[in-house]
Structure 1
């Protein structure tokens, strides 16, 4: 196996999250503040917008998950927000309880939520290291 790579990673495309019910998933994520870019019921997918970027969080219907969370561990996907502590308050105000209180990280603060299928979304800010965050 060669150590040389013949391609360059340019950035993220979509992050795919398996869900057991597309309508229920969209209701959860819309309540959490995620705008829906599109929904294709016939394909069992919906794309949630993330900022001004074209890629997003792609919800993908998985029939095996209709009535239970997956048996495998879900990856954590963290998305940048301006203020994670304010996001935690906003989420709680619409009935979405964070997994834990906002916690400090090297760049600022993070709060995590989980959808009904155990997919974990972290909302993180760069208040301690604004030079590393997206330009405002």
Structure 2
């Protein structure tokens, strides 16, 4: 009997995507990275400097953004196109103003998307985070 059969899951059920666990970003300096993300509005959930790891909270969810120090990674601008993670906010244009006020440069002015607005930033190592809202499609927004 397979492990899936022992808990009553079919092959289709066991392969179903349930949500994200953590988003991992490689960084060159944990202190600098944590400072950057705190200015961007991410609370630190857990930090373990001796192994070069920090987990940042994203909303009420347990998973978050995991920062991990990687040897040899240097500051760089993001390649285009590069992988991105977009996180929901209530108002992306307001988030863009708050980021600018915190000294974090935007990759571009907030731009319109099908559901609302999005603004993106990049950390010093080129990891791109977008903040998107559902102002055009409020029925899809988190409550």
Query: Under a length normalisation based on structure 1, what TM-score does the superposition of the two structures give?
Result: 0.90
Indicate if the aligned counterparts of 2:78 and 2:126 stay in contact, CA closer than 8 A.
no
Instruction: Write out per-residue CA displacement over residues 22-66 of structure 1, whole angstroms, 9 at most, x where no aligned residue.
Output: 00000100011110001011221100000000000000110111x
Distance in structure 2 (CA, Å) of the matches to 1:50 and 1:40 = 18
Distance in structure 2 (CA, Å) of the matches to 1:53 and 1:124 = 17
**How far is the alpha carbon of 1:133 from its aligned partner?**
1.4
* Paired positions, count: 131
**How far is the alpha carbon of 1:12 from its aligned partner?**
0.5
Pick from 55, 76, 87 the counterpart of residue 69 of structure 1: 76
Query: Under a length normalisation based on structure 2, what TM-score does the superposition of the two structures give?
Result: 0.85
Stretches of structure 1 lacking an aligned partner (at least 5 in a row): none
1:41 and 2:49 are equivalent in the alignment: yes
Instruction: Write out per-residue CA displacement over residues 55-97 of structure 1, whole angstroms, 9 at most, x where no aligned residue.
Output: 00000110111x3439977410000000000001111111111
Distance in structure 1 (CA, Å) of the matches to 2:57 and 2:98 = 18
C-alpha RMSD of the superposition: 1.8
Stretches of structure 2 lacking an aligned partner (at least 5 in a row): 1-10
CA gap of 1:113–1:61, structure 2 versus 1, over 3 A, is same
Matched with 1:117 is: 125
Matched with 1:101 is: 109
